[in-house]
A = this chain, B = another copy of it.
Amino acid sequence: MTIRVAVNGYGVIGKRVADAVRAMPDMDLVGVADIATDWRVRTAVGLGIAVYGATEAAAGAMSAVGLPVAGNLGDLLGRVDVVVDTTPKRVAAANLPGYRAAGVKAVLQGGESHATTGHSFVAQANYATAVGRDMTRVVSCNTTSVVRVLGALQDAGLLARARGVLIRRATDPGESHLGGIMNTMAPEAAIPSHQGPDATTVRPELDVVTIAAKASHTQTHQHFWTLQLTRPTSREEVLGALRAAPRIAFVRMADGLTALNTTVELMRDLGRPRGDMWEVALWEDVLSVQGDEAYLTYQVYNEAIVVPETIDAVRALSGTVSDGASSIALTDEVLGIRQEFLPATVGA
C-alpha cells in the first residue's frame, strides 16, 4: 500500500519533507499547499509538484498569476491519508479540526505544543506508541537532537543528568535578509529554556536542563553538554552507546572539520540535496570523559534534522509499518543517512 501524503506549508521544512516523501518507495506526494505566489511556490511548480491553495483566497491568487492550481486544501485533504503540517508556529493547531473533519491523519511540527496532539515523536524513542494514532508532533530540531543523543546514553544506562548550552543560528539562510541578529548574541531571557522540558515529552525520565542563546550565524545550531554519568566509565563506552543509536554521525577535528561551516561544506561536497545533514554530527575527538562526567558537542542542521523523523511519523500514523527499526532503516537507506561521512584512514 502506498501512503498518500500532503504537505501543508511549503517552507524550510515543508519543501524538504515534500522531497523526502517523493523519494520514499511506499509514499506518494499528492500535493503541497501554501499561501504564497512567489518564487518558492513557483519552484514547486517547476519541480512538477501539484500545488494547492492553502485557502480559497490563496488558490485564487495563484490562478490569477497564471500558476497551475490543483485545488484548495480541502481538495487536497480529500485525496490523502496523512497530512504533514509545516505551517508557521501555532498555525497548525488551528488547522487540526479541518484535518479531523476530513478524516486525515496529521503530523505536526515542533513549533506546536505537546498538548495539541497529545503525542510527541522521535522515531528511535517512541515510534511504537505512534502507530495507528490520528496525529503526532515531531519535536523541534533542537529537541530531536537532544533525544537522539541523550536517549542513546540513557538506553545504555549511562546517563544520570544532562546540562546543556544550546547556541542557535539566528535565522535560516534563505530568510536571512528578512531579519536576524548582527554582530551580537542574544541569550534567552529565562533559564531553563524550553528544550529541556520538551525532551521529556518524548523521554519523561530524562533529567535535563538547557540554557539557550542565539548567535550571529545562519546555519545550524551547536549544543555543548556536561553529562553526569551513572558511574565512572571510559570514553570508549560512551562512544559505543552513541554508535548504537541511529542518526548520529561522527566527525573529527583531526580531519579538518573544525567549525560549523566545514561540515556544511562537506554535505555540499557529498552531493546531498540542498546540502542537508539529517544526522546529528557529533565531534568524536572532542568528546571527553573524566571520571563520572562526560563533555561533548554536536551540530544540529536545523533545516533538515526532523525530515527523517517526519517520514517515520507519517509511516507510524499510517499503520503500514509497525516496527520502528524497520521504518528508520528504510528512511535512512533512501535518504542516504550515514554514521561516517568519510572513508576510514589509518590512525583515525
Contact = CB atoms under 8 A, between A and B. Distances in A.
Interface of A: 15, 36-40, 42-43, 45-47, 64-67, 163, 165, 167, 170-171, 173-192, 209, 211, 213, 215-219, 222, 224, 226, 253, 255-262, 264-266, 268-271, 273-275, 283, 285-288, 290, 293, 295-297, 341-348
Given A187-B224, A217-B185, A258 B177 contact: yes
What's the number of copies of this chain in the assembled complex? 4
A312 to B, nearest CB: 23
Nearest to A44: B269
A88 to B, nearest CB: 16
Given A185-B222, A191-B287, 15 more contacts: A39-B262, A42-B343, A43-B341, A45-B343, A65-B347, A163-B163, A174-B261, A174-B265, A177-B260, A179-B180, A182-B217, A187-B258, A215-B215, A226-B226, A275-B275
Contacts of A287: 191
B271 A173 contact: no
Given A46-B343, A65-B348, A256-B39, A209 B295 contact: yes
Contacts of A273: 271
A176 B183 contact: yes
B167 A176 contact: no
B176 A182 contact: yes
A181 to B, nearest CB: 5
A339 to B, nearest CB: 14
Most central of A40, A65, A345 by chain B CB within 10 Å: A345
A61 to B, nearest CB: 11
- Please list the 6 inter-chain residue pairs (A to B) with the smallest Cβ-Cβ separation, ordered nearest first: A174-B265, A177-B259, A38-B256, A66-B346, A180-B182, A176-B182
B224 A213 contact: yes
Most central of A216, A219, A270 by chain B CB within 10 Å: A216
A211 B345 CA distance: 28
A251 B64 CA distance: 20
A39 B163 CA distance: 31
A299 to B, nearest CB: 9
A176 B184 contact: yes
Contacts of A176: 181-184, 259, 261
B185 A167 contact: yes
Most central of A15, A165, A258, A271 by chain B CB within 10 Å: A165
Contacts of A167: 167, 185, 213, 215
A295 B224 contact: no
Contact of A259 (B46, B186, B191, B344): B186
Contacts of A293: 209
Contact of A211 (B42, B192, B253, B295): B295
A4 to B, nearest CB: 24
